Structure 1
Amino acid sequence: MMPGDSNMTSIVQRIARQALVTFRNTPRVGEADGKSFLENHSKLKSLMTEVRAADLNLVPRRADDISPPPLQYHSGVPPVTYMHICETDHFSMGVFLLKSGASIPLHDHPGMHGVLKVMYGKVRISCFDRLERPAGSPQQDEPTLPQAQIGALRRSVLRCTGEYTEESGPCVLSPDLDNLHQIDAVDGPTAFMDILAPPYDPDEGRDCHYYKVLADSEVSNSELKEKEVWLMEISQPPDFWCGGEPYPGPEVCL
């Protein structure tokens, strides 16, 4: 099989190869090869638009499967599972499967790109951007909280909330846009293919952090603009954890 023979190569393999080409040399802002990156990124999004559950040998789960009670989660059944497809120093690729009513809580992707494509079911994705406050700017709208919690605050803006199905194009995030998001299963079980570039790596400063949106009652002296919110970094929510299961689809070689 020749590397360029797309007729003989699974779409999963082609996506992985394109991801490697796209993210092997991610340009910094303003670098001359930014155009090349955008072209490769566009090719990757096009391939992700085409992929379907059958290409990964995924059989859509039924509503089981109907929304299990919270106590079942605590008895050892994870609300979310992950199928590992492949990983390099430049990107990781896999499939997340969410049970009915499950959520991946609001979290960030420090310095990372991402592409998410629903395989079956429906997800609701809420995307936030962090707003950097200029050094020395006033803090008059900062929530009144114990001093120990102030350092965990992040001024952010809710950019969009949308629902995605297998017929939708991919959801894309970058280090600067839509970098924080929450993913909720809607109306039953769902699964999505996920590419992150580069992968999470705490040793390289790419650890996953979780957040909650502060309710209006928790914020005093606040005159935030529309859609601007305060996020507080929190520990991983106790009702969320991710298990693993085997990936049944075509092998990927890089």
Structure 2
Amino acid sequence: MMPADGNMTSIVQRIARQALVTFRSPPRVGEEPGRSFLENHSKLKSLMTEVRAADLKLVPRRADDSPAGVSPPHPYHHGAPPVTYMHICETDHFSMGVFLLKSGASIPLHDHPGMHGVLKVMYGKVRISCFDRLERPTGGTQPAPSLPPAAQVGALRRSVLRSTGEYTEESGPCVLSPDRDNLHQIDAVDGPTAFMDILAPPYDPDHGRDCHYYRLLPGAELTDTEQKEVWLMKISQPPDFWCGGEPYPGPEVCL
């Protein structure tokens, strides 16, 4: 019989268990995290730092590789999806899976309402640009830009570009919280890439956790200086982005 803990337990299983412990009672939005949450979150980040593609039985893909077992194309799109997702597990407290991006693909700028997240690159390289929403004007606030004819003021979000960085399998995880780095864009750099992703709690439109997409209004670029205030406009899902599904080949997770 396989022991409940120890060397025989896969790191994926250990990550899932730690995620469950960490996010079973997370701090409320706007609330300072307590010592217990911070300690458990630190343990989760340490485990995520250790995991590698081989632990998930992922084979790094070349630019011309076509994934096997991908779900049928989106009815409104043609060809293979630019991004696919491998589902590992999900509970009421968190979801865990792997996103695979084709060479040159991007996951557009989007948010994670009231959610925590931990992202760890398995192979390849990604560029992640993180933003925070600003609820109140600050001293450096720029006036609202000229809006496109069809735009509505209610779709605008005053935000700040917190960071733009590149991550590889040797990097530590990228972490987001309900209040920090909650909006981000993920771009594949120099070829295909894959990353393991934990979101807590999972997306759930019935509980106000739907995914919203944004675009940067003219006058700011993702390569601009960090901490720069920018304007984002809420948009529909970009037509050139959709996500397919494919089987997860790694160790089973039991919770």
TM-score band (shorter)? 0.7 to 0.9
Instruction: Return closer, same or farther for 1:154/1:249 CA change in 2, 3 Å cut-off.
Output: same
Q: Which 4+ stretches in 1 moved above 3 angstroms? A: none
> How far apart are residue 143 of structure 1 and its match?
2.5
Residue 15 (structure 2) aligns with: 15
| Partner in structure 1 of residue 55 of structure 2 | 55
Match of 2:113 in 1: 110
Q: For residues 129 and 48 of structure 1, what CA distance do their matches in structure 2 show?
A: 24
1-structure distance, mates of 2:102, 2:142: 42
What CA RMSD, in Å, does the superposition of the two structures yield over aligned residues? Answer: 2.3
Residue 6 of structure 1, CA deviation: 2.4
Equivalent pairs, count: 237
Who is 1:242 aligned against?
Answer: 243
Identity over aligned residues, as a percent?
86
How many Å apart are 1:50 and its aligned residue? 0.2
Change (3 A) 1:226 1:23: closer
Cα deviation, residue 65, structure 1: 4.1
Q: Deviations over 1:101-150 (max 9, x none)?
A: 0000000000000000000000000000000026xx9x981233358511
TM-score for both structures, normalised by structure 2: 0.87
1:18-62 CA distance string (max 9 Å, x none): 00000001123556x710000000000000000000000000001
* Paired AA for residue 77 in structure 1: A
- In structure 2, the gaps of 5 or more residues are 67-72, 221-225
Q: Distance in 1 between matches of 2:205 and 2:3?
A: 37
- Mapping for residues 203-242 of structure 1, pairs under 5 Å: 203-216=206-219, 227-242=228-243
Scaled by the length of structure 1, what TM-score is found?
0.88
Of residues 141, 166, 171, the one that matches 2:169 is 166
Matches of 2:96 and 2:14 in 1, distance apart?
Answer: 12
Instruction: Name the SS of the counterpart of 1:247 in structure 2.
Output: coil
One-letter identity of the residue aligned with 2:232 = L
Within a 5 Å distance, the mapping from 1:1-254 to structure 2 comes to 1-3=2-4, 5-28=5-28, 29-30=30-31, 34-65=34-65, 74-133=77-136, 141-145=143-147, 146=149, 149-216=152-219, 227-254=228-255
Q: Secondary structure at the match of 1:216?
A: coil
Alpha-carbon distance in structure 2 between the residues aligned to 1:148 and 1:122:
34
